[in-house]
Amino acid sequence: RKPLIVMTPKSLLRHKMAVSSLDDLVNGKFHLVIPDLTAKNAKKVKRVVFCAGKVYYDLVEEAAKREISDVAILRVEQLYPFPRTEVKAELDKYPAAKEVIWCQEEPMNQGAWYQIKHHFQAVVADRHTVAYAGRPRSPAPACGHLGRHLAEQAALVELALVSPISSDYALE
């Protein structure tokens, strides 16, 4: 399967982590969900963070900087149709995980969250707590101030990786 549309910001065109080998391009295939290859011990993972797009690199860099080993970060590469089977299969690899997070950098009402939250509800059933980590609802796509944007970005990464799940960010 080949994706029909690939959207990416310019910042990922030369990002050192956003690369594929020539072998991947020639012999590889499109993955609906990309697993966390850095989670060394799946049995010790307490939180699974799903995301799509550029925020993945912010999450991975911060997790490495803090040496976080009990969080798995997975990428959902296809949002529609939602890959429920693949998400469930990845989630089943982490038997000790109690928290499932969807992280996005867009405001809550502008990213994928409202379109996919019911899929996560169906996949996790009663086994996990599902929460949202990202910017709150907003009529504007961006705050318009670099300093505030960076602070918001750091806060949503913190929320996804280490902050306790609060009812403000629980599944609505």
Q: Please report, for the domain that includes residue 45, its CATH number.
A: 3.40.50.11610
Asked if residue 135 belongs to a domain, the reply is yes
The confidence score (pLDDT) of residue 16 equals: 84
Give percent helix, percent strand, percent coil of the chain, each to the nearest 5. 35, 15, 45
- How far apart (Å, rounded) are the C-alpha atoms in residues 127 and 121? 10
More confident residue, 134 or 142: 134
SS3 (DSSP) at 95: coil
Q: Which residue range(s) make up the domain with 117? A: 31-169
* pLDDT of 167 higher than 60: no
In this structure, is residue 9 part of a structural domain?
Answer: no
Q: What is the pLDDT of residues 14-33, one digit of tens each?
A: 888 888 888 888 888 889 99
Instruction: Report, as an integer, the average pLDDT of 59-79.
Output: 96
Tell me if the pTM is above 0.95: no
What is the model's pLDDT at position 75?
A: 97
Q: Position 2: which residue type?
A: K
**First-to-last C-alpha distance (Å) of the chain:** 33
- Check residue 3 and give its pLDDT: 58
